[in-house]
Chains A and B, each alone.
Chain A
Amino acid sequence: MSAVSEAVPVSEPIERRSGLRFRISRGGLGTLVFLTPMLVVFGLFAWFPIVRAVVMSVQETNLVSEPTFVGLNNFARVLSDPQFGTAVANTAWFALLALLFGFPVPIILAVLMSEVRRGRGLYSALAYLPVVIPPVVSVLLWRFFYDASPHGVFNTILGWVGAGPLPWLQSSASAMPSIVIEATWANAGATVIIYLAALVAIPPELYDAADVDGASIWQKIRNVTLPQLRSVLIVTLILQLIATAQLFTEPLLFTSGGPNNATLTVLLLIYRYAFQNSLGGDYGMAAALSLMLAAFLAVFTAGYYRLTRSWSTSS
């Protein structure tokens, strides 16, 4: 009897245990085990820095002395800094130039390469080669090319056709376009490969049908190729816009933001806040501007996807 009377109240835990067994048998524990390293790595190197950035944005801290809480003061100081407007304008200018040059160039290259019947792999490798070169090496190489003296590499080439010499990085007007040219060269390869993959996947019957209809090359591009690439184009465009908003390596290594702040970008300004003052950076302001940039990009991306949702499905 006693055994029976004791058996009744434990029926619920048995159910729970069977639930746990059920979860384990379905791979729940295994999933957790496999997930743990990722959680730890992301926790340490992604989520924790993000949380720290949020905390630091409301602190005055040099990471050595005790931080003090300053509320939203760092955000107010960023917004009232005259360099902030310059950095935003320069970043927008870079984004526009990158859009004009950097967006169509990979498409054109990919279309041309997709038309090649032999040696496409070689052309793909050549297009991708700049991506393989470390950015610092690329920039230092291009700095050499951009030597503003008449004996510089590019100026010598211009001299052959009676043009130049150009000041390249040594002028406020030409510094940013010079950076855009290098950035396009350095980054186009990856996008070319994506476009090329998308182009190859377009059913040839569509082109055959266009041929039957007597379409010209331009009409085929306009009415077959571009519509088929629409989804990829929408994704690569937003990625490029996000990347241009985070431009840092090139202006830092090419010009340090000069001449006269002509290439000062938002990310470079964050870097300046953090590291320009040798007596301890203003990490609070740097964190505040980082969050502002992240928030802007999040809102911008959400808006972009909302806007382009109806276009993204191929018709």
Chain B
Amino acid sequence: MTTAIDHIAIKMGSVRGEQEMSRRISRRSTWYGPIALAIIGIVAACSPTASPSASSAPNPSQPTTGGPSASAAAAHQPVTITVGVLRPGATQEAVDALNLQISEFQAKYPWITVEPEEYNWTAPTFTAALAAGTLPDVFTIPFTDGKGLIAQHQIVNIDARVRALGYADKFNPNVIVNGQDDKGAISAVPIAAYGMSLTYNRTLFKAAGLDPDKPPTTWDDIRTAAKTIAAKTGVAGYAEMATENTGGWQLTTSTYALGGRMETVGTDGKVTATLNNPETKAALERLKAMRWEDNSMGSTFDYAWGSINQAFAAGQVGMFTGGSDLYTAMVQNNSLKPDDYGVTVIPLEGADAGVLGGGTLAAVNVVTTEAQRDAAVNWIDFYYMQKLLTQEGAIADAQALKANNQPVGVPSLPIFDKATYDASQQWIKDYINVPTAQMTPFTSKIFDQKIVTEPTAHTQELYAALDPVVQAVLTDKNADIDALLTKANQQVQDIIDKG
């Protein structure tokens, strides 16, 4: 607004001069027209769409021929890769731990230079970086985006390189499928899996007279505990994420926990949106009651992933649902006091109830050379996989983290088989520095729970369509849940039908 006004003010002052100028310029317009067109032509010729250089870039959909032997041949050529591994706002200790791991990697692969970059996946920032070609050479994405990016040839096919590592067949098939195309070729490597959990503040539980070692086991328990915390401590007993697609993500979690589903896939493969199912409605009715009848949800209803972590670490939230691996982020970014942290499984109620499971894939940018792709897979193997597969890798990783006061032993779900997972936990036993006893309510029960994958078709768009529904319920006492769900369902069905 200001700039425009200033601009016009200046323009007004020079109008008379311009009028005189325009008369002179008009006589020379025959000169300037072709010049301007020529410049525009040059600019257009330099544009990405007009440039033939795009065709000379490696085609990400083509399996690369550079197998292990080719990699070895090129191995001694110096190569530099950027890796998106540093959360914005990470503490110096987290940076130091990463630098230590990078130095260990570069000792093993002296011809590779690793340059860490700040990176945190969010839908809007990822889309912009993807379109602009500014993503790091190695970046991470949620399970929900793997197949879509592969189908659109936006990440590199690294099948041969990953299979050359020798453990591709050990992946849990339900996990690796998120990074495979229709023919089973690997374009993204699963590096972590989580189950949704109920994170709770043990200190607030104690302050409210609740037993933090006996967290809620039913949704009614959660509601009662939230009411008690709010009444006794004055902070939100329970909070729900509601923006940046997280509202839909959490509502889907609640729906799964009651046995509902957001999409169904017919025998013909046709996907039908089922957002207006009875379980989603029940989950929203409960939220509405907690917000407007119990007044146990505080006064902030626009939390996203980062802000709810921050509020929880600051002692402003008693309970919320989120990934079981949040502890690391909250320590690294939000200075969480370990004594505050408690985590338990989400109550499952209903015939087909399950825990929403998700995870993270590591992928390689399409704008990389063959040598960089080799180096990228080496990095993925070293940084993400070796700690899960080998005792040496697990201990080296744990030592680097512990030396810099970073969490070791945060609960997660296996991306290989359960035996491999148990072995990796055993290897790092002596280095575990997280309050495992406070995580027992989760770790002792999660493997008995049914894990359900996220909706498969247009997942993030589905979540985005549900954000306003959650927001409406939390900010409007008279929100019409049926109408809201019907509208969101139609919106998602239209997106699915469009393909």
Cβ–Cβ contact A260 & B298, under 8 A: no
Would you give 26 A-B contacts (Cβ < 8 Å), ordered by A? A23-B28, A43-B40, A47-B40, A48-B40, A64-B130, A65-B154, A67-B49, A165-B299, A190-B2, A191-B5, A194-B9, A239-B5, A256-B302, A259-B301, A259-B302, A259-B472, A259-B476, A260-B468, A272-B464, A274-B128, A276-B123, A276-B464, A278-B126, A278-B127, A279-B149, A279-B152
Interface residues of B in 452-499 (CB under 8 A from A): 460-461, 464, 467-469, 471-472, 474-476, 479, 484, 487, 491
CA of A258 to CA of B300 in the docked complex: distance in angstroms?
12
Cβ–Cβ contact A260 & B131, under 8 A: no
Cβ–Cβ contact A167 & B475, under 8 A: yes
If A64-B152, A149-B298, A259-B474 touch, does A279 touch B145 (CB 8 Å cutoff)? yes
Q: How many A-B residue pairs have CB under 8 A?
A: 166
**Interface code B103-128, partner A: CB below 8 Å = 1, 0 otherwise?**
00000000000000000010111111
Q: Is A96 an interface residue (CB 8 A)?
A: no
User: For residue B468, which residues in chain A have a CB less than 8 angstroms away from its CB?
Assistant: 258-261
Stretch at the interface among B31-39, B213-221, B344-352, B431-439: B31-39
Cβ–Cβ contact A194 & B5, under 8 A: yes
User: For residue A43, which residues in chain B have a CB less than 8 angstroms away from its CB?
Assistant: 36, 39-40, 43
Q: Is A114 an interface residue (CB 8 A)?
A: no
User: For residue A119, which residues in chain B have a CB less than 8 angstroms away from its CB?
Assistant: none
CA of A63 to CA of B479 in the docked complex: distance in angstroms?
38
Cβ–Cβ contact B301 & A239, under 8 A: no
A195 to chain B, nearest CB (A): 11
Q: Is A51 an interface residue (CB 8 A)?
A: yes
Q: Is A32 an interface residue (CB 8 A)?
A: yes
**Interface code B129-145, partner A: CB below 8 Å = 1, 0 otherwise?**
01110000000010001
Cβ–Cβ contact A28 & B36, under 8 A: no
Interface residues of A in 50-100 (CB under 8 A from B): 51-52, 62-65, 67, 82
CA of A40 to CA of B42 in the docked complex: distance in angstroms?
10
Q: Is A280 an interface residue (CB 8 A)?
A: yes
A188 to chain B, nearest CB (A): 9
A260 contacts which of B40, B121, B471 (Cβ < 8 Å)? Answer: B471
User: For residue A131, which residues in chain B have a CB less than 8 angstroms away from its CB?
Assistant: 2
Sample of 11 further A-B pairs with CB below 8 A, known A52-B47, A235-B8, A276-B464 = A64-B154, A167-B475, A190-B1, A190-B2, A190-B5, A256-B304, A260-B476, A271-B124, A274-B128, A275-B124, A279-B460
B21 to chain A, nearest CB (A): 10
**Interface code A30-57, partner B: CB below 8 Å = 1, 0 otherwise?**
0110010001100110011001100000
Q: Give the interface size class of chain B.
A: 35 or more
Cβ–Cβ contact B124 & A172, under 8 A: no
**Interface code B279-307, partner A: CB below 8 Å = 1, 0 otherwise?**
00000000000000000001111101000
Q: Is A281 an interface residue (CB 8 A)?
A: yes
User: For residue A279, which residues in chain B have a CB less than 8 angstroms away from its CB?
Assistant: 127, 145, 148-149, 152, 154, 460
Q: Is A154 an interface residue (CB 8 A)?
A: no
Of chain B, the residue at the smallest CB distance from A65 is B152
Question: Which DSSP category, helix, strand, loop or mixed, fits chain B's interface?
Answer: helix
Q: Is B244 an interface residue (CB 8 A)?
A: yes
Cβ–Cβ contact A62 & B476, under 8 A: no
CA of A77 to CA of B233 in the docked complex: distance in angstroms?
49
Chain B contact residues, CB within 8 Å of chain A: 1-2, 4-6, 8-9, 12, 28, 31-32, 35-36, 39-40, 43-44, 47-49, 121, 123-128, 130-132, 141, 145, 148-149, 152-154, 242-245, 298-302, 304, 366, 460-461, 464, 467-469, 471-472, 474-476, 479, 484, 487, 491
Of chain B, the residue at the smallest CB distance from A31 is B28
Interface residues of A in 164-208 (CB under 8 A from B): 165, 167, 169-172, 183, 187, 189-191, 194
Of chain B, the residue at the smallest CB distance from A23 is B28
Chain A contact residues, CB within 8 Å of chain B: 23, 28, 31-32, 35, 39-40, 43-44, 47-48, 51-52, 62-65, 67, 82, 131, 147-149, 152, 165, 167, 169-172, 183, 187, 189-191, 194, 235-236, 239-240, 242-243, 255-256, 258-261, 271-272, 274-281, 283
Cβ–Cβ contact B126 & A260, under 8 A: no
Cβ–Cβ contact A256 & B243, under 8 A: yes
Of chain A, the residue at the smallest CB distance from B154 is A64
Cβ–Cβ contact A239 & B471, under 8 A: no
A62 contacts which of B8, B124, B131, B460 (Cβ < 8 Å)? Answer: B131
User: For residue A32, which residues in chain B have a CB less than 8 angstroms away from its CB?
Assistant: 31-32, 35
A40 contacts which of B39, B131, B461 (Cβ < 8 Å)? Answer: B39
User: For residue B487, which residues in chain A have a CB less than 8 angstroms away from its CB?
Assistant: 82
CA of A281 to CA of B123 in the docked complex: distance in angstroms?
10
User: For residue B243, which residues in chain A have a CB less than 8 angstroms away from its CB?
Assistant: 256, 258
B40 contacts which of A51, A149, A258 (Cβ < 8 Å)? Answer: A51
Cβ–Cβ contact B31 & A243, under 8 A: no
User: For residue A82, which residues in chain B have a CB less than 8 angstroms away from its CB?
Assistant: 487, 491
If A259-B472, A275-B123, A277-B460 touch, does A167 touch B299 (CB 8 Å cutoff)? yes
User: For residue A281, which residues in chain B have a CB less than 8 angstroms away from its CB?
Assistant: 127-128, 131
User: For residue A187, which residues in chain B have a CB less than 8 angstroms away from its CB?
Assistant: 1-2
Cβ–Cβ contact A171 & B475, under 8 A: yes
User: For residue A236, which residues in chain B have a CB less than 8 angstroms away from its CB?
Assistant: 5
A121 to chain B, nearest CB (A): 19
Of chain B, the residue at the smallest CB distance from A47 is B40
Cβ–Cβ contact B302 & A39, under 8 A: no
Cβ–Cβ contact A258 & B467, under 8 A: yes
CA of A112 to CA of B226 in the docked complex: distance in angstroms?
52
Cβ–Cβ contact B301 & A243, under 8 A: no
Cβ–Cβ contact A239 & B40, under 8 A: no
User: For residue A172, which residues in chain B have a CB less than 8 angstroms away from its CB?
Assistant: 472, 475-476
Of chain A, the residue at the smallest CB distance from B475 is A259
Cβ–Cβ contact B131 & A63, under 8 A: yes
A25 to chain B, nearest CB (A): 14
User: For residue A183, which residues in chain B have a CB less than 8 angstroms away from its CB?
Assistant: 1
User: For residue B245, which residues in chain A have a CB less than 8 angstroms away from its CB?
Assistant: 276
A235 contacts which of B12, B28, B126 (Cβ < 8 Å)? Answer: B12
B178 to chain A, nearest CB (A): 14
CA of A152 to CA of B316 in the docked complex: distance in angstroms?
14
Cβ–Cβ contact B43 & A44, under 8 A: yes
Cβ–Cβ contact B4 & A239, under 8 A: yes
B298 to chain A, nearest CB (A): 7
User: For residue A191, which residues in chain B have a CB less than 8 angstroms away from its CB?
Assistant: 5
B168 to chain A, nearest CB (A): 25
B299 contacts which of A44, A147, A275, A283 (Cβ < 8 Å)? Answer: A147
If A131-B2, A242-B4 touch, does A62 touch B152 (CB 8 Å cutoff)? yes
User: For residue B48, which residues in chain A have a CB less than 8 angstroms away from its CB?
Assistant: 63
Cβ–Cβ contact B43 & A48, under 8 A: yes
Of chain B, the residue at the smallest CB distance from A165 is B299
User: For residue B152, which residues in chain A have a CB less than 8 angstroms away from its CB?
Assistant: 62, 64-65, 279-280
Cβ–Cβ contact A35 & B32, under 8 A: yes
User: For residue A190, which residues in chain B have a CB less than 8 angstroms away from its CB?
Assistant: 1-2, 5-6
CA of A92 to CA of B299 in the docked complex: distance in angstroms?
28
User: For residue B300, which residues in chain A have a CB less than 8 angstroms away from its CB?
Assistant: 147-149, 170
Closest 3 CB pairs of A and B: A260-B472, A243-B1, A148-B299
A48 contacts which of B12, B32, B44 (Cβ < 8 Å)? Answer: B44
CA of A32 to CA of B30 in the docked complex: distance in angstroms?
12
